[in-house]
Amino acid sequence: MVGPPVEPGTGSAAVPVKNADVTGTEDLGWHGSWRFTRERAVEPELTLLFHDLYETAFGPLRTRAMARQVLTAEEFGQQMADADVLKYVAWTADGDPVGMATLTNELSTVPWISPEYFAARYPEQWARGAVWYFGFVLTHPDQRHSRFLDELIRVGVDALVAQEAICGYDMCAYNVDELGLTRQAAETLQRAAGTQPNQADTQNYYAVDFGKRVQAPPSTSSSSVGPSSTDGPGTL
């Protein structure tokens, strides 16, 4: 789930907290101007900070996408506390946390996807725990530029490149069509890891207005050929 850019001065993004505590920390060293850590669990102070940033980025999607795109505060907190969800956190030289990307190979922690889909299509990678999913990517408005995003993604996918893994992510139509994030994500992955994403699946959502009547288009099918339109399972 990749969200729209967070612009300075919009929403209620929290001000970064200096030296916020984390647990289960692995120091990944300096990459560019930022120090990166990999966290198994995040302390409440940092959780609140990133939830504010998450709400700023993803909150507007509540009215722009039919499928639910936004974690509740409780769900977000569970993600931050779940050791199976890796949190890659970027820090400035002053100790301010300014970015986060989440990754997991325990796909049951991602409630809106089907782990069985990945197991069936990528059996070799699945058998060795090399199927991952991006949860979300967040950056503080002060760091919203391609150089920072490249480093954040590169740090997150370095191990996946070495593992020759499969990694999924999703975007709603608003982020694809209105904000052009498909292209941005592809360009970032190309720069960071030398690879390109391929569209794996789609799902369309429909609405029927029973207050309006429309004339049905003329049928182009022959009643003497093939099964009846009532045969088999139907969809609405």
Q: How far apart are CA 42 and CA 141, in angstroms?
A: 21
Q: How many distinct structural domains can be found in the chain?
A: 1
With respect to residue 217, please indicate whether it lies within any of the assigned structural domains.
Answer: no
> Element (H or E) spanning 36, and its range?
strand 34-42
CATH number at residue 79: 3.40.630.30
Q: How far apart are CA 169 and CA 135, in angstroms?
A: 7
User: Which residue from 57, 47, 143 is spatially nearest to 94, judged by alpha carbons?
Assistant: 143
Cβ contact 34:151 at 8 Å: yes
pLDDT by residue (tens digit) across 56-67?
Answer: 888 888 898 888
Mean residue pLDDT across the chain: 81
Q: How would you label 151-181 residue by residue, b for 16+ Cβ within 10 Å and e otherwise? A: bbbbbbbeebeebebbbbbbbbebbbeebeb
pLDDT value of position 180: 73
CA torsion angle for 109, 127, 154, 96 (degrees, to 10)? 30
Bridge partner list, 88: 38, 101
With respect to residue 166, please indicate whether it lies within any of the assigned structural domains.
Answer: yes
Span 103-115, average pLDDT: 93
pLDDT by residue (tens digit) across 31-49?
Answer: 989 999 999 999 998 899 8
Residue 133 vs residues 5, 15, 88, 173: alpha-carbon distances, Å:
20, 28, 13, 19
pLDDT value of position 145: 74
| Residue 106, domain extent | 22-193
With respect to residue 216, please indicate whether it lies within any of the assigned structural domains.
Answer: no
With respect to residue 182, please indicate whether it lies within any of the assigned structural domains.
Answer: yes
Q: Is 90 helix (H, G, I), strand (E, B) or coil?
A: strand
With respect to residue 17, please indicate whether it lies within any of the assigned structural domains.
Answer: no
